[in-house]
């Protein structure tokens, strides 16, 4: 099953038996992307990513796979990004700070919000 590109940021309420791996599998199609969810929710989850609790609300970062010819401007337009409201992470979870970064086709970018979604707590 092909995932849409981009995957929009959303929220998720943890259910009994959930793990970050399973949540990533459900939202991204790959459980190994759990670190992106943990990175954005570490303050909510705490130091142990294996300890999530039913009823906890998590922010699920958006996900975008860079296409050939993408630039900072085309990605902003495609995602309708307001730079003030988001944080863009590279696949290695380093925040993109430069004003005109270079992107590689196939690179995965994660989109975190500046606090608009997921404020259930």
- Over residues 22-61, the pLDDT tens digits come to 999 999 888 998 998 998 899 999 999 999 999 999 999 8
Give the pLDDT score at 87: 66
> How far is residue 12's CA from residue 26's CA, in Å, rounded to a whole number?
11
> How far is residue 66's CA from residue 58's CA, in Å, rounded to a whole number?
25
Give the pLDDT score at 117: 38
DSSP label at 31? G
Give the pLDDT score at 83: 53
Which domains, ranges and CATH numbers included, belong to the chain?
10-113 (3.10.350.10)
> How far is residue 7's CA from residue 110's CA, in Å, rounded to a whole number?
9
Give the pLDDT score at 101: 76
> How far is residue 82's CA from residue 28's CA, in Å, rounded to a whole number?
23
> How far is residue 117's CA from residue 9's CA, in Å, rounded to a whole number?
8
Taking 70 as the threshold, does the pLDDT of residue 81 lie above it? no
Find out whether 28 and 63 touch, Cβ atoms under 8 Å: yes
Taking 60 as the threshold, does the pLDDT of residue 120 lie above it? no
């Amino acid at each position: 099953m092909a995932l849409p590109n981009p995957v929009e940021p959303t929220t998720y309420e943890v259910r009994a038996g959930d793990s970050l791996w399973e949540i990533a599998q459900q939202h991204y199609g790959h459980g190994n992307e759990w670190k992106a969810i943990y990175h954005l929710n570490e303050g909510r989850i705490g130091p142990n990513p294996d300890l999530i609790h039913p009823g906890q609300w998590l922010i699920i970062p958006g996900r975008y796979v860079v296409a050939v010819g993408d630039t900072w401007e085309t990605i902003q337009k495609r995602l309708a990004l307001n730079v003030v409201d988001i944080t863009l992470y590279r696949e290695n979870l380093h925040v993109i700070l430069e004003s005109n970064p270079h992107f590689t086709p196939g690179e995965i970018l994660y989109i975190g919000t500046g606090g608009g979604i997921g404020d259930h707590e």
